[in-house]
Structure 1
């Protein structure tokens, strides 16, 4: 077990090493859609690449998710074949969001021997998500275009 300070140091080293290994600017929060963002996540059991849809207005969340669902076959067939769609996902805070994600298991943030696998997973899946998003962003972004 690690102390809190040791765990923070390992996390910092992980993210610094990832940035050095894949030195590029990721889309992440720059989707130009308020409260719709791509995220990386890693803990001691899994790594995830996620698209979180979390506008405060529930109707907007539903519309954005429905737009993504209307493109689901394209996303799965051409970009991220293992993506999982969750219309209703609850954060630890209890907040309801929608999430589309992929997961890599059998890794640990605290096992440096698995870092390369996580870095490659992050780069491959986020790049695929981004390519999909850039191709369909006008449709996804425009709330007036109905599904």
Structure 2
């Protein structure tokens, strides 16, 4: 399933309860709307640091807080919103052409990202005005 550009939604993963601890799993193409091509994670992020500050031309992502918490500020070129991630079972699906900024990392926070493509610097909009211009072109 492919969503239109600028689309963001929460993803809830399954949880298996066990007296020895809970288990959550994710399957590309089943729990998330793409096959996973890359996994990366952020950790040891200073509590006053900001991450992100970009959008992607084609890449789709699901972002999770595996430990601790952080805020993601979302901008689709028309509306701005924010999400707090703190539950490792709940991810935020971010489709293409969505500007994102992350901040307010708690001590010990671990952010894991599942991505639809391998790393490609050419896929990034790192300048906000270039991002807004791309949104205008895509809307035509």
TM-score, L = length of structure 2: 0.24
Higher helix fraction (1 or 2): 1
Structure whose alpha-carbon radius of gyration is higher: 1
Relative contact order: is structure 1 or structure 2 higher (C-alpha 8 Å, sep ≥ 6)? Answer: 2
TM-score, L = length of structure 1: 0.24
